[in-house]
Structure 1
Amino acid sequence: MQNLDLVTEISASPIHHEKSSTSTYTVISTVAFLIGVPEHIFENEHEAPDIAIYQKLKFNRNACIIRDLCMVRTAIIRNFKRVNQEVFHNYRLLSSLKEYIPVQCIHELGNWGINLLKKNTRLAQYIVDINKYISDRINNCKNLFPLWLEWRYIKDIFIMPDGLTETGTKQASDNYYASFDCYPYQTYINWVFFQNDGNILYNDKKFVTLLYRWHEDDFSDLNKVSNVDNTVKNNIYDFLSESRDTVIVVDCENSDPYDLCATLNDLEDYLRDKISKIMLFDDVHTSSAWKVLQEHTDIPIERIEVARLKEDKSLVDTHLTANVVREFYANHVDSFVIVASDSDYWSVISTLKEARFLVMVEHEKCSGKLKEALDDSGIFYCYIDDFYSGSGKDIKLTAMLTEMKRYLAAHIDLNVTDMMDHLYTSTRAVMSDTEKHQFYQKYVKSLSLVIGDDGTASIQIKGK
Structure 2
Amino acid sequence: MEQEIDENIQSYTLYENSTYMVVSKVAYLIGVPKTIFENEHEPPKMEWYEELHQDKNARIIRNLCMLRTSIERNFRKISLAMKYDLKSILSLPEYIPQECLSQLTLDGISIYRSNAQPIQYILDINKHIANRINNCKSLFPIWLKWEYLRPIFIMPGGTTEKGTKAAAEEYYSNIDKYPYQVYINWSFTSSVGNLLYNDKKFVRLLYEYHEDYFADMSKVSDAGQIAKDGIYDFLERSARTAVVVDCENADPYKLYATLKNLDQAALLGKISKIILYDDIHTATAWKILEWFTQIPIEHNMIERIKENKSLVDIRLTTGTCREFFQNNTDSFILVSSDSDYWGLISAMPEAHFLVLVEDEKCSSAVKKAMIDAGITYCYTDDFCTGNSDEIRIQAVLNEVKRVLDSEVQFNIREILSEAYRLTRANLSTAEREQFYARYIKPMRLVVDAEGNASVQLGPL
For the aligned pair, the TM-score class normalised by the smaller chain equals 0.7 to 0.9
After the TM superposition, which residues 18-417 of structure 1 pair with which residues of structure 2 at under 5 Å, given as runs? Answer: 22-119=17-114, 121-193=116-188, 195-268=190-263, 269-390=265-386, 392-412=388-408
Q: Distance in 2 between matches of 1:194 and 1:229?
A: 34
Q: Give the number of the structure whose residues are more often helix, by fraction.
A: 2
Q: Is the 8 A contact 2:141 2:387 kept in 1?
A: no
2:388 is paired with a residue whose SS is helix
Q: Distance in 1 between matches of 2:98 and 2:142?
A: 35
> 2:64 is aligned with what amino acid?
L
In the TM superposition, residue 114 of structure 1 has moved relative to its aligned partner by 3.3
Question: TM-score, with normalisation over the residues of structure 1?
Answer: 0.80
The CA deviation string for residues 327-369 of structure 1, in whole angstroms up to 9 with x for no partner, is 3344443222111112121222223223221110012222222
In the TM superposition, residue 136 of structure 1 has moved relative to its aligned partner by 0.4
Q: Distance in 2 between matches of 1:150 and 1:121?
A: 37
Q: Tell me the C-alpha RMSD between the 2 structures.
A: 2.6
Q: Distance in 1 between matches of 2:244 and 2:22?
A: 33
The CA deviation string for residues 182-206 of structure 1, in whole angstroms up to 9 with x for no partner, is 1111110001225441111122222
2:196 is paired with a residue whose SS is coil
1:337 is paired with a residue whose SS is strand
- Point out where structure 2 has 5 or more consecutive residues left out of the alignment: 1-11, 411-442, 446-454, 456-460
> 2:200 is aligned with what amino acid?
K
The CA deviation string for residues 87-136 of structure 1, in whole angstroms up to 9 with x for no partner, is 23443223222222223323443454433333454532322221111100
Q: Distance in 2 between matches of 1:331 and 1:86?
A: 76
2:23 is paired with a residue whose SS is helix
Q: Distance in 2 between matches of 1:392 and 1:139?
A: 22
In the TM superposition, residue 372 of structure 1 has moved relative to its aligned partner by 1.9
Work out which structure has the larger RCO, using CA pairs closer than 8 Å and 6 or more positions apart in sequence. Answer: 1
2:360 is paired with a residue whose SS is coil
Q: Distance in 2 between matches of 1:215 and 1:346?
A: 48
The CA deviation string for residues 278-336 of structure 1, in whole angstroms up to 9 with x for no partner, is 22111111011111111222222222212222222222222222322333344443222
Q: Is the 8 A contact 1:261 1:391 kept in 2?
A: no
Q: Distance in 2 between matches of 1:197 and 1:448?
A: 48
Question: TM-score, with normalisation over the residues of structure 2?
Answer: 0.81
Q: Is the 8 A contact 1:263 1:391 kept in 2?
A: no
1:273 is paired with a residue whose SS is helix
Q: Is the 8 A contact 2:195 2:201 kept in 1?
A: yes
> 2:147 is aligned with what amino acid?
R
1:276 is paired with a residue whose SS is strand
- Which is worse superposed, 65-74 or 186-195? 186-195
In the TM superposition, residue 223 of structure 1 has moved relative to its aligned partner by 2.8
Identity over aligned residues, as a percent? Answer: 53
Q: Distance in 1 between matches of 2:198 and 2:251?
A: 27
Go from structure 1 to structure 2 and tell me whether the alpha carbon gap of 1:284 and 1:171 turns closer, same or farther (over 3 Å shift): same
Q: Distance in 1 between matches of 2:155 and 2:343?
A: 63
> 1:148 is aligned with what amino acid?
W
Q: Distance in 2 between matches of 1:244 and 1:56?
A: 34
Go from structure 1 to structure 2 and tell me whether the alpha carbon gap of 1:31 and 1:356 turns closer, same or farther (over 3 Å shift): same
Go from structure 1 to structure 2 and tell me whether the alpha carbon gap of 1:192 and 1:313 turns closer, same or farther (over 3 Å shift): farther
Q: Name the larger-Rg structure.
A: 2
- Which is worse superposed, 404-413 or 242-251? 404-413
The CA deviation string for residues 145-181 of structure 1, in whole angstroms up to 9 with x for no partner, is 1222211222111011121111111111111111111
Go from structure 1 to structure 2 and tell me whether the alpha carbon gap of 1:77 and 1:370 turns closer, same or farther (over 3 Å shift): same
Go from structure 1 to structure 2 and tell me whether the alpha carbon gap of 1:169 and 1:342 turns closer, same or farther (over 3 Å shift): same
Q: Distance in 1 between matches of 2:119 and 2:220?
A: 38
Q: Is the 8 A contact 1:21 1:230 kept in 2?
A: no
